[in-house]
Amino acid sequence: MKKVIVGISGGVDSAVAALLLKKEGYEVEGLFMRNWDAMLNNDTLGNPNLNENICPQEQDYNDALKACEILGIKLHRVDFIKEYWDYVFTYFLEELKKGRTPNPDLLCNKFIKFDLFKKEALKLGADYIATGHYAKVKNNTLYKAKDNNKDQTYFLADITKEQLTNVLFPLGDYTKPEVRKIALEAGLNVAQKKDSTGICFIGERHYQDFIRNYLKPNPGNIIDVETNEIIGKHTGLMNYTIGQRRNVGISGNKERHYVCGKNVKDNILYVAFGDSKYLYSDSCTLDNINLMDNLPSKLTAKFRYRGEEIPIIVEEIKDDYIKIKYPSLAKAVTPGQACVFYDGEKCLGCGFIKDVYKNGEKLWYLC
C-alpha cells in the first residue's frame, strides 16, 4: 500500500483531499504546517473583533486535528516559521519597499509546500505528497482544475517539474460545491468552514494595520496623472496596488478613479480617472522565470489570479528574461505580480512582471 502525506491546513479542501485518497486505498497521514507565529513575529495589531484567546493558526490546527480524528488518520505537525520568514515574508517586504505588488502564495508553494514540506513527508515514509489545491498533475505536468472558478494553477506556476514528482491533487476533478457536499456527507467538522481569503499570513487582520508592524508609514501626495495636480494624500505606497479603486484617499470626488502608478523616489501615488489610457499597456518584461515546458508560438497568459486570460506573443526569451506583447491591450498590469503562461489547459510556468510598456515606451509612472 502506497503512503501519502497530505498537507492538512484545517480547511475543508485538504480534509476532503485526505478523505478521497483514503477511499482510493492509500495509506494516508496528515501533516500540519505552522508557518506564522503572530506573537513571535510581533504581529500585535489586528482586528479587534477576533477572538484573542486563541490565535488563528492554533484554531486551524485544532480544526485539522479534529478532521483527522474523524477521518481516522494520524496528524503530524511541523514548524516552518523561520523558513517562511526567510524565504517568503522577507521577499514580500522588500518588494513592497520597491513599490511593487508581490504575491507571497507563489513563493510559499515553491519554497515551503513543495520543498520543505515534501522533504518532511519523505522523512515520514511518504511515497507521495498531496494537497487540497484545485489543479491536476499528469506526467509531472501541471493542468487546470475542472472548477474554473477555483483553479489554482496560477499559484502553482513557480514550482518546477521536479517538484511535481510524486505529487497528487485529489480535488482536480471536483468543483467546490461537490467538495462541500462530500465533506457534509462524511460529517467533517470543517464542512462549512469559511474559505481563507487574501494573503495567508494576514488573514482577517486589517492590511494597513498589519503592514505597520513591519514598514513605517510614509504619507505623500496623490497626483492626477493627466494634470499633474495634487488631489489628495496617501498613507504609504505599500498600501496600494495598481488598478485599485477603493479606499484610495481622494475625499469628495465622486468620479471613478484608479491607482495607475507609483514613484518610490518622490513618494508619489498616481491616479487616473474613468477608463483612462494610463491604465492600459501592450507589452511587458518578466524576470525570475520558471518554465515547466517550452513556450509555443501561440499561448495565453494571466497577469493576476482573478484576471482575464489573454493571448500573448513572446518577443524575446533568455535564461531569466522574457519580453511579451499582448495584441489586445491589458488593464492594470502590475510590477511584482506573476505572469502565468498557458497552452490550453496546460500551465507552462511563469515570470514576474518587471517593466511595463505601451507603444514601445516604458510607462514612466510605474516603478
Q: Tell me the C-alpha distance between 281 and 333, whole Å.
A: 7
Whether 339 is catalytic is no
List, edge to edge, every strand of the sheet that includes 128-130.
Answer: 75-79, 27-34, 3-7, 128-130, 167-168
Of 237, 329, 241, 341, the closest CA to residue 286 belongs to 341
Q: From the candidates 108, 284, 347, 367, which is the catalytic residue?
A: 108
Q: For residue 303, which amino acid is it?
A: F
Structural contact between residues 67 and 11, judged by C-beta atoms closer than 8 angstroms:
no
Strands (E) located in 124-166: 128-130, 136-138, 141-143
- Dump the DSSP string for 317-343: EETTEEEEEEEEEEE---TTSEEEEEE
200 has catalytic annotation: yes
| Exposure class string for 312-329: b at 16+ Cβ within 10 A, else e | bebeeeeeeebbbebeee
> Which residues are catalytic, by number?
108, 200
